[in-house]
């Protein structure tokens, strides 16, 4: 079976039984990563199970491309019942770096953790073996301390997943952290804590077989070439902060990846160096809290400290912004919170906040439940200041539906804000905008934008982000492609390659994932589209089983129809290309209800769903070989 090691490891922490599940039947129907993990969830996690119940599963699954040398194929999906969503429900995250590839090198395509250990444990995985070992010496340790202990025990090459004190104490926003500064949000660190599981340590020496190794090498060379686009070296909010002396001194590659991306090795003016990436670098911005004199280490070390305790950086950023607003307005004070609010922006405050949340001390215990759940335990003035778009995972006004109309159904149909689904339009728009400001800096002109829309979203009409034309098809294509990406194990920072500096027309290659899939697995590329539809439909069934009401639930947050857009969750006013490529503001936009309903109906037709219920028709389930999902959809669907 090319691309795979052939088995998924299953560890029951309660009975200490270690067994294996064959990968093949799952891969045949659900491709990999997100698809396989969702199917295992469907089969094993009943709707009434709570996130912290022993019956919940932590399901890690890599993809068929992971560990094969395919470019950007580093991702491992993490799926389970999340303590972070409100209410607790099905959710997903994923992690990059090296750990997914190492799991395959150890002989396993995935790992299912179930039950609750009677003692504090970690799971040790090495070539085709797994054992449950005592973790009492690791308990209470920060991530870097766990890393050091595991490296002393198993060598420098050990790869791992762990969680800090926040996970141990079941802070709902606790992340599962892997080496190389990788982490998966969704509350998976808290689920590890609920199972008395501190870490998973992995070493392997094998490799998956590739069907056509020479073809894969050729495709890798082509991928590296056409993936040359525009590299945003410094995250947007740190641009212009010359005082930090922030510079990129190298790439921050994950396993065998040679692609350009925003994960890099950085240095600041004090000479300190480290790997950082993306939004996490902006988790704490002292200058926005009136502390321009704060040393650059404060900003640079803040994401590392979040990982050490293992608290989701997005949540932390929102909490700090909210506390600052509360303190300035007098809604919260130092006495009632026990936090040095007058020092927001300093490292002293940041450490005090993370410590209080991770150890659930005093006011930190309220925040440990997540800001979305904290409302009822807060003074009403402070509760009212929680931003209206705070939802349990990320924020509801990131590239929101009334700024990008195609996001209306995307927002409505997911259990969390799923950035890869939003990135297609957001990255393209950002490149187009940079190109207008600095001509030639990016390949995305208005003409390229339209051609990309036609190639990847199905029509030139889809290029106009603030019209409903072509958006039903664009939404379906984006969803299916993203689910395929998450299932193959491809990284969202690199894929899909929609535009390029090196192709003649500057449009990327929508066939590339399929060609690589064929080179690795020997399977025909045209299977991928059906996989996308099938996995999406499976997730639909899971969500309906857990309470989604189909058409009634397929509505984005009401404010999109009623409140004119001003700025997004990060305070940005968004401009987009108008119908002739001129720059138009989205300020003041709302969604039109009738036009939204027409788009939704068209979308249901494209999916083969009943337009009255939003449930798949029986013939659609049959076409996708998903007849076993039928009982979950009410009869008339």
Candidate residues 150, 200, 257, 426; the one interacting with ligand SF4 per rule CB under 6 A: 257
Q: Are strands 197-202 and 121-126 parallel, antiparallel or unpaired?
A: parallel
512 is a site residue for ligand SF4 (CB under 6 A):
no
Question: How near is the Cβ of 150 to ligand SF4 at its closest, in Å?
Answer: 22
The packing angle between helices 471-488 and 419-437, to 10°, is 110
Candidate residues 261, 390, 403, 544; the one interacting with ligand SF4 per rule CB under 6 A: 261
**What 8-state DSSP symbol labels residue 577?**
E
| Site stretch for ligand SF4 (CB under 6 A), options 312-320, 487-495, 500-508, 562-570 | 487-495
* Cβ-based neighbours of 147, under 8 Å, separated by 6 or more: 160, 162, 179
Contact 315, 307 (CB under 8 A): no
254 is a site residue for ligand SF4 (CB under 6 A):
yes
Contact 126, 118 (CB under 8 A): no
Nearer to ligand SF4, 456 or 495 (CB): 495
Question: How near is the Cβ of 74 to ligand SF4 at its closest, in Å?
Answer: 4
Extended strands (E) in 85-180: 89-95, 110-114, 121-126, 129-134, 159-162, 176-178
96 is a site residue for ligand SF4 (CB under 6 A):
yes
* Cβ-based neighbours of 237, under 8 Å, separated by 6 or more: 282, 285, 570
Candidate residues 72, 83, 93, 470; the one interacting with ligand SF4 per rule CB under 6 A: 72
532 is a site residue for ligand SF4 (CB under 6 A):
no
From 528, 407, 530, 531, select the one nearest 465 (Cα to Cα). Answer: 407
| Site stretch for ligand SF4 (CB under 6 A), options 104-112, 170-178, 254-262, 435-443 | 254-262
Candidate residues 94, 253, 518, 586; the one interacting with ligand SF4 per rule CB under 6 A: 253
Question: How near is the Cβ of 227 to ligand SF4 at its closest, in Å?
Answer: 8
130 is a site residue for ligand SF4 (CB under 6 A):
no
Kindly determine how many residues on this chain lie close enough to bind ligand SF4 according to the rule CB under 6 A: 12
Question: How near is the Cβ of 256 to ligand SF4 at its closest, in Å?
Answer: 9
Nearer to ligand SF4, 51 or 257 (CB): 257
497 is a site residue for ligand SF4 (CB under 6 A):
no
Instruction: Tell me the chain's radius of gyration from C-alpha atoms.
Output: 23
167 is a site residue for ligand SF4 (CB under 6 A):
no
Nearer to ligand SF4, 210 or 494 (CB): 494
Question: How near is the Cβ of 252 to ligand SF4 at its closest, in Å?
Answer: 6
67 is a site residue for ligand SF4 (CB under 6 A):
no
Spatial distance between the Cα atoms of 433 and 388, rounded to a whole number of angstroms: 28
Nearer to ligand SF4, 183 or 621 (CB): 183
| Site stretch for ligand SF4 (CB under 6 A), options 46-54, 55-63, 257-265, 291-299 | 257-265
b/e 334-351 (16+ beta carbons within 10 angstroms → b)? eeebebebebbbbbebbb
**What 8-state DSSP symbol labels residue 456?**
I
CA atoms within 13 A on the CB side of 596: 22
Candidate residues 51, 135, 176, 494; the one interacting with ligand SF4 per rule CB under 6 A: 494
From 43, 109, 44, 30, select the one nearest 76 (Cα to Cα). Answer: 109
Dihedral pair phi/psi, residue 429, rounded to 5°: -60, -45
493 is a site residue for ligand SF4 (CB under 6 A):
yes
276 is a site residue for ligand SF4 (CB under 6 A):
no
**What 8-state DSSP symbol labels residue 462?**
G
491 is a site residue for ligand SF4 (CB under 6 A):
yes
Q: Are strands 583-585 and 575-577 parallel, antiparallel or unpaired?
A: antiparallel
CA distances to 17, 109, 200, 361 from 20, in Å:
10, 10, 17, 41
99 is a site residue for ligand SF4 (CB under 6 A):
no
Spatial distance between the Cα atoms of 355 and 164, rounded to a whole number of angstroms: 11
Nearer to ligand SF4, 175 or 382 (CB): 175
408 is a site residue for ligand SF4 (CB under 6 A):
no
176 is a site residue for ligand SF4 (CB under 6 A):
no
Nearer to ligand SF4, 72 or 286 (CB): 72
The conformational region for residue 124 under phi > 0 = left, psi -120 to 50 = alpha, else beta, is beta
263 is a site residue for ligand SF4 (CB under 6 A):
yes
Nearer to ligand SF4, 96 or 167 (CB): 96
From 410, 409, 375, select the one nearest 391 (Cα to Cα). Answer: 375
Stretch (H or E) spanning 104: helix 99-105
- Catalog residues that contact ligand SF4 under the rule CB under 6 A: 72, 74, 96, 253-254, 257, 259, 261, 263, 491, 493-494
């Amino acid at each position: 079976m090319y691309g795979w090691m052939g088995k998924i490891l299953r560890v029951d922490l309660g009975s200490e039984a270690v067994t294996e599940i064959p990968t093949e039947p799952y891969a045949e129907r659900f491709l990999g990563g997100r698809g396989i993990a969702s199917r295992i969830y469907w089969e094993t996690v009943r709707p009434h199970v709570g996130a912290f119940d022993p019956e919940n599963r932590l399901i890690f699954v890599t993809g068929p491309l992971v560990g094969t040398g395919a470019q950007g194929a580093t991702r491992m999906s993490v799926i389970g019942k999340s303590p972070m969503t409100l209410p607790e429900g099905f959710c997903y995250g994923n992690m990059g770096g090296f750990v997914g590839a190492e799991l395959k090198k150890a002989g396993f395509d995935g790992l299912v953790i179930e039950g609750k250990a009677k003692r504090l444990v970690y799971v040790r995985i090495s070539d085709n073996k797994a054992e449950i070992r005592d973790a009492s010496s690791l308990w209470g340790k920060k991530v870097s301390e766990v890393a050091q202990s595991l490296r002393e025990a198993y060598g420098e090459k050990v790869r791992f997943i762990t969680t800090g004190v926040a996970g141990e104490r079941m802070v709902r926003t606790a992340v599962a952290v892997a080496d190389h500064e990788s982490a998966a949000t969704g509350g998976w660190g808290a689920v590890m804590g609920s199972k008395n599981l501190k870490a998973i340590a992995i070493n392997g020496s094998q490799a998956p077989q590739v069907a056509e190794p020479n073809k894969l090498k050729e495709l890798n060379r082509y991928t590296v070439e056409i993936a040359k686009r525009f590299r945003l070296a410094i995250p947007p909010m740190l641009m212009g902060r010359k005082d930090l002396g922030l510079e990129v001194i190298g790439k921050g590659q994950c396993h065998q990846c040679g692609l350009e991306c925003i994960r890099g090795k950085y240095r600041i003016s004090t000479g300190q160096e480290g790997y950082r990436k993306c939004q996490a670098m902006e988790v704490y911005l002292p200058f926005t809290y009136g502390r321009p004199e704060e040393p650059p280490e404060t900003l640079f070390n803040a994401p590392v400290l979040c990982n050490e305790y293992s608290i989701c950086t997005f949540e932390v950023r929102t909490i700090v912004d909210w506390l600052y607003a509360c303190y300035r307005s007098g809604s919260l004070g130092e006495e009632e919170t026990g936090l040095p609010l007058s020092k927001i922006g300093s490292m002293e405050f940041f450490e005090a906040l993370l410590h209080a949340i991770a150890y659930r001390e005093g006011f930190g215990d309220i925040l440990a439940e997540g800001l979305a759940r904290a409302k009822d335990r807060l003074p009403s003035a402070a509760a009212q200041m929680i931003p209206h778009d705070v939802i349990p995972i990320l924020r509801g006004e990131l590239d929101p539906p009334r700024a990008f109309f195609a996001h209306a159904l995307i927002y409505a149909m997911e259990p969390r804000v799923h950035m890869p689904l939003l990135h297609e339009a957001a990255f393209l728009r950002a490149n187009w905008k940079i190109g207008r400001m600095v001509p030639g800096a990016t390949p995305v002109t208005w003409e390229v934008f339209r051609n990309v829309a036609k190639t990847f979203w199905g029509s030139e009409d889809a290029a106009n982000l603030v019209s409903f034309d072509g958006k039903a098809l664009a939404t379906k294509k984006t969803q299916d492609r993203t689910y395929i990406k998450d299932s193959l194990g491809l990284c969202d920072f690199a894929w899909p390659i929609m535009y390029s500096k090196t192709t003649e027309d500057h449009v990327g290659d929508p066939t590339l994932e399929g060609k690589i899939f064929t080179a690795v697995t020997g399977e025909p590329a045209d299977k991928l589209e059906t996989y996308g539809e099938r996995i999406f439909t499976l997730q639909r069934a899971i969500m309906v089983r857990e309470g989604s009401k189909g058409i009634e639930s397929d509505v984005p947050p009401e404010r999109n129809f009623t409140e004119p857009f001003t700025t997004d969750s990060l305070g940005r006013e968004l401009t987009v290309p108008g119908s002739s490529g001129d720059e138009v503001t989205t300020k003041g936009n709302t969604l039109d209800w009738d036009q939204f309903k027409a788009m939704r109906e068209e979308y249901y037709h494209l999916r083969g769903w009943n337009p009255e219920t939003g449930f798949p028709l029986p013939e659609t389930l049959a076409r996708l070989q998903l007849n076993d999902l039928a009982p979950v959809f009410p009869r008339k669907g």
